Amino acid sequence: MTDDRRLRGNGAGVRRTAAAVVVLVGLLSWWLVPPATAASLPLLDVDPLDELEILAVRADDRAQVLFAAPARLMTQTLTSDDVVVTVDGAQQPVRLQRLSATDLELAVVVDTTVSEEDLRALQSAVVELALDLPPGATMRVIDATGTVSEPAPVPGPAIAQVQQLQVGSDDNIQRAVDRATTLLGQSPQDRTALLVVGRDLADRLEPIEDTPLESTVAYVVTVGTGGDELLGPTASGTVLPVDQVARVLPAVDEMSVDLRNLYRAEVPLPGPDAATLTLAIPAAGQDAADRTVALDADTLRPVDADPVQPPAPDDAAGTVPGEHAVERTEINLGRVLAPLLLAGAALAVVAVLWLLAQ
């Protein structure tokens, strides 16, 4: 009998020990495991090339928006269900079209008045662009004198034309850009694009005008200060100023991503006084995936604006008109997963101690 009581006492002690282990492990899992949030454990990394970029906005009876989706979404084609557009805080129905780059005709104006070293850097950037574009795209090359090549398929024939460029002292880059825009306007292709790369272009070029949002987008990469004025109010596209020739390649890489990930969105405007438009892509899941611009019938150039908050909730309906915001949820993975794992370990300890008590 004494032995039985001793065994029962030992078993009770083991069970008390096991219970203490469970409690201790639970406390440790809560206090010692640092909380993980969306900031410390991001669902998706963001880099400068992975942001939503609006290249042009046209506002008349309807708003048309030319934008490049974040690079992380390049492998999928967005639909109207993936994009949220609000006008002055009220959500609007969206018609969305992805612009294919397989039939793109690209005209590249290269500043050949630079040094041999600088020209090699510009050529390398354009060669990388030719390698990135999909089969079916074509490229023509124009030097600073206005000499124009025939459209050549990418990558091989187009690269061969780029490599034939030679340094020269004749500077007629304005004529080169004028010829490029004229040829693109006559192109049989549905999609065209213009790239101008060179030094101090803000001092040498007139603003580029009349690149229709429906078909053409212009990119200007200028080495030097200034340049925002290089695209006029009727031009769709962007200016990418860099401080040295070595940075031309990353800038052209950004252009390459845009060209392969362009969309045109069309939404109705609720009235003639509509002032702001916000475009958001919830699937991207980060702050970089929404942007608010002003609506101005006199220009295609996107101008950032403060977002308009939606109306206050209707107590009767319990909803917010146009409510479809981009949700950003903090996910505390540490507080969820770590206790489960440690609890499993605690149960294993309890099982072993229980067997020893038998």
Q: What is the pLDDT of residue 330?
A: 37
Q: What is the pTM of this model?
A: 0.71
Rounded to 10 degrees, the C-alpha dihedral 265/269/274/275 comes to 0
Q: Contact at 8 Å (CB) between 172 and 200?
A: no
Pairwise CA distance, residues 126 & 121, whole Å = 9
Q: Find out whether the peptide bond into 233 is cis, omega within 30 degrees of 0.
A: no
Tens digits of residue pLDDT in 177-204: 999 999 999 999 989 999 999 999 999 9
Backbone region of residue 222 per phi and psi (left: phi > 0; alpha: psi in -120 to 50; beta: other values): beta
Tens digits of residue pLDDT in 302-323: 888 887 766 555 544 444 444 4
Q: What are phi and psi of 124, to 5 degrees?
A: -60, -40
Percentage of the chain lying above the pLDDT 90 cut: 55
Tens digits of residue pLDDT in 321-343: 444 433 333 334 444 455 555 56
Pairwise CA distance, residues 288 & 343, whole Å = 38
Rounded to 10 degrees, the C-alpha dihedral 163/164/167/172 comes to -110
Q: Where are the alpha helices (DSSP H) in 186-332?
A: 248-259
Q: Which band of pLDDT confidence, cut at 50, 70 and 90, is reported for residue 349? A: low
Q: If DSSP codes are grouped into helix, strand and coil, which group holds residue 91?
A: strand
Q: Contact at 8 Å (CB) between 252 and 125?
A: yes
| 132-147 b/e (C-beta count within 10 Å ≥ 16 → b) | bbeeebbbbbbbbbbe
